[in-house]
């Protein structure tokens, strides 16, 4: 929403959200994964959901099966669904 509707650059979004989740009194469940996902979103120009799923999968040494080819940019094992390619 911040990027698509309001046209904020992903880098600005990531920087501000990283500052927020690192602030005193903020205790996200997976701070390191959120930071990784936000950095990947900004640096690799992918959406946050894909970046977060890739961070989770990478953390658990799992693959992702998806039609979304952006996972190839994210350094996680990506498997295309049968018959896709």
Q: Pick out the chain residues at pLDDT < 70.
A: 1, 85
User: Sign of the CA dihedral 77, 14, 39, 20?
Assistant: negative
Q: How many CB atoms lie within 10 A of CB 39?
A: 16
pLDDT at position 23, please?
A: 98
Residues 6+ apart with CB under 8 A from 46: 40, 70, 73, 74
Paired with 79 in beta bridges are 65
pLDDT the model gives residue 3 = 80
Task: Enumerate the domain spans of the chain.
Answer: 10-79
Report yes or no: 67 and 85 within 8 Å, Cβ to Cβ: no
């Amino acid at each position: 929403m911040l990027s698509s509707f309001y046209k904020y650059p992903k880098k600005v979004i990531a920087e501000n959200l990283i500052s927020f989740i690192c602030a005193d009194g903020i205790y996200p469940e997976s701070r390191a994964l959120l930071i990784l996902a936000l950095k990947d979103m900004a640096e690799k120009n992918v959406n946050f959901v894909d970046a977060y799923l890739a961070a989770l999968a990478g953390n658990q040494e799992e693959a992702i099966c998806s039609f979304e080819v952006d996972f190839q940019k994210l350094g996680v094992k990506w498997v295309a669904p049968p018959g896709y390619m």
